[in-house]
Structure 1
Amino acid sequence: MSKRSEHVEVQRPTRGESVYARYLRLPELLSLQKSEEELAHHDELQFQIVHQVFELWWKETAFELRSISRLLKEANLSEALRLLQRVIRIQYLLLENMRMLETMSPWDFHAFRKLLAGGAGSDSPGYRELQRLSPLLWDDFRTLLATAGASLSDIYLQAGRYPLLHAFAEALIDYDEVMQTFRFRHYKLAERMIGAATTGTGGTPMPLLERTIHDMLYPELWEIRDRLSTLAQEDGQI
């Protein structure tokens, strides 16, 4: 048994409280939404819960991204790849989470939109942390490429020689793609709720929000596709 597990302190539930509720801190968790009496509109509870779910999963994502960065620095590519696959799955979960808001009509949203005041999704500390941490993985990955004496082209042209580097590069582009999909879905949800010519709750004009759809985390991984197509054409494969 590790020292860490030897010193785990088991907290006993209070009278009338289950171990399940105690471990998950359910009284605190379920008190973080408005009560039914406080709701300005029926759909406000769903709106709060959907966004709180985002923050919880982004907290987990940030934790995993920091772990992945550490593993890359240790050259532990297989474990880093496993955790990156987890990160990707989380983001797909959040795409479905966002779709819950589509069950709300635009007019119902306007019934409590004013309570958001100047708040906007771009203010999310969880999302901002992902925007800070995600690009750092590219620096760690490039260091591994340099250590292996390989270029980005090499790991695609000789994938059998660099299987883990190739797999990790493909996982990075999977992650980049799902984040682009998230930005697109977020824009379309906003357009669905308030229209394309309106200013968002945080004061962001919709055309400006639309531009974020094309943001990339790892542009080099998209650019290499052009390079590979050119090489295939030169080689007579196209």
Structure 2
Amino acid sequence: MLSNRLTIDELSELMNGNGKSDYEIYLKTKDLLSLQTNYNELCNADEIHFQLVHQAEELFFKSLNFSLLEINKYLLEKNYQRIISNFKRAHKAQECLLKTIEILHSMSPREYQDIRLKLGNGSGQDSPGFKSFLKISTTLWLSFKELFGIHDILDFEKIYHTEYVHNDVYLICECFLELDDLYNKFLYSHMKLIGRSIGLQAHSMKGNVVTNLTNRIARSLFPELWEIRSKMTSEWGHQYGVVRDSLSSQKVI
């Protein structure tokens, strides 16, 4: 006879599996699914989702960072097709990071306070995946500039303007720009989650005001790629006028 009653212990046993199938052995699911707090030790139902989301983010950062390490290898080998292919994979990992955090948007501020009591002074800025990403990105940028002999903004001006062709170096620049853009979106999404859970005027568990995070969001990993756009637009503006006449004021002949 079918029953609509399933105990937590029964569900846990079902979800954890027995670890004996090839699928479970290869993916080490027994170890992976034992890394979360036991149900009877959770402070509330939201805690398991909070923990899973942040653990999943570390895994996606691991995927992202390995992709970036591969890109660095292919930069040194001047394998442009592999560089662009691995950038696409890196961007997908970043998109997964953005989507994963949305799971916590339904978390109530009141219930998050119970979770917060268990975090010590933990902060997302202490994430090993996030810190590794920042370090690897810096190394990757240096490898890129060394490969193509890029030293200053004038070299980017050649790529984007005076010697512009839609070639490999331009496409790789745009891959870096997408990496940077998704990085800033990731920071922004976390700030918005913090706003939803504790408020933007609150203090973090390290004593910092949450609004200080906006300063980090304003920074870029590869500022030259954003600067060159402003520089080109400014130069063009001097040619056709920074402030243009409205179309409605022009005479129709």
Matches of residues 117-196 of structure 1 in structure 2 within 5 Å? 117-146=120-149, 151-157=155-161, 158-160=163-165, 163-196=167-200
Q: Give aligned-pair identity as a percent.
A: 32
Task: Kindly indicate whether the alpha-carbon contact (under 8 Å) linking 1:196 and 1:207 is maintained by their aligned counterparts in 2.
Answer: yes
Deviations 1:176-211 (A, max 9, x none): 011011111111111111112211133332122222
Deviations 1:2-55 (A, max 9, x none): xxxxxxxxxxxxx97111111110000000001111111111000110000000
Aligned residue among 66, 72, 75 for 1:72:
75
Task: Kindly indicate whether the alpha-carbon contact (under 8 Å) linking 2:122 and 2:205 is maintained by their aligned counterparts in 1.
Answer: yes
Output the TM-score relative to the length of structure 2.
Answer: 0.82
Task: Kindly indicate whether the alpha-carbon contact (under 8 Å) linking 1:145 and 1:151 is maintained by their aligned counterparts in 2.
Answer: no
Q: CA 1:16 to 1:135, structure 2 compared with 1: closer, same or farther past 3 Å?
A: closer
Aligned residue among 39, 42, 56 for 1:39:
42
**CA deviation after TM superposition for structure 1 residue 89, in Å:** 1.2
**CA deviation after TM superposition for structure 1 residue 230, in Å:** 2.6
Match of 2:117, SS state, is helix
Output the TM-score relative to the length of structure 1.
Answer: 0.87
Task: Kindly indicate whether the alpha-carbon contact (under 8 Å) linking 1:145 and 1:152 is maintained by their aligned counterparts in 2.
Answer: no
Task: Kindly indicate whether the alpha-carbon contact (under 8 Å) linking 1:61 and 1:90 is maintained by their aligned counterparts in 2.
Answer: yes
Look up the equivalent residue of 2:25 and give its one-letter code.
R
Q: Which runs of 5+ in 2 are unaligned?
A: 1-17, 243-253
CA distance in 1, matches of 2:236, 2:75: 31
Q: Which runs of 5+ in 1 are unaligned?
A: 1-14
Matches of residues 1-80 of structure 1 in structure 2 within 5 Å? 17-80=20-83
Task: Kindly indicate whether the alpha-carbon contact (under 8 Å) linking 1:117 and 1:202 is maintained by their aligned counterparts in 2.
Answer: no
| Moved beyond 4 Å, runs of 4+ | none
CA distance in 2, matches of 1:203, 1:96: 28
Match of 1:117, SS state, is coil
Q: CA 1:46 to 1:16, structure 2 compared with 1: closer, same or farther past 3 Å?
A: closer
Corresponding residue for residue 109 of structure 1: 112
Q: RMSD of aligned C-alpha atoms?
A: 1.9
Moved more, 224-233 or 79-88: 224-233
Look up the equivalent residue of 1:186 and give its one-letter code.
H
CA distance in 2, matches of 1:67, 1:237: 45
**CA deviation after TM superposition for structure 1 residue 236, in Å:** 3.9
Look up the equivalent residue of 2:139 and give its one-letter code.
L
Task: Kindly indicate whether the alpha-carbon contact (under 8 Å) linking 1:47 and 1:101 is maintained by their aligned counterparts in 2.
Answer: yes
Matches of residues 93-104 of structure 1 in structure 2 within 5 Å? 93-104=96-107
Larger Rg: 2
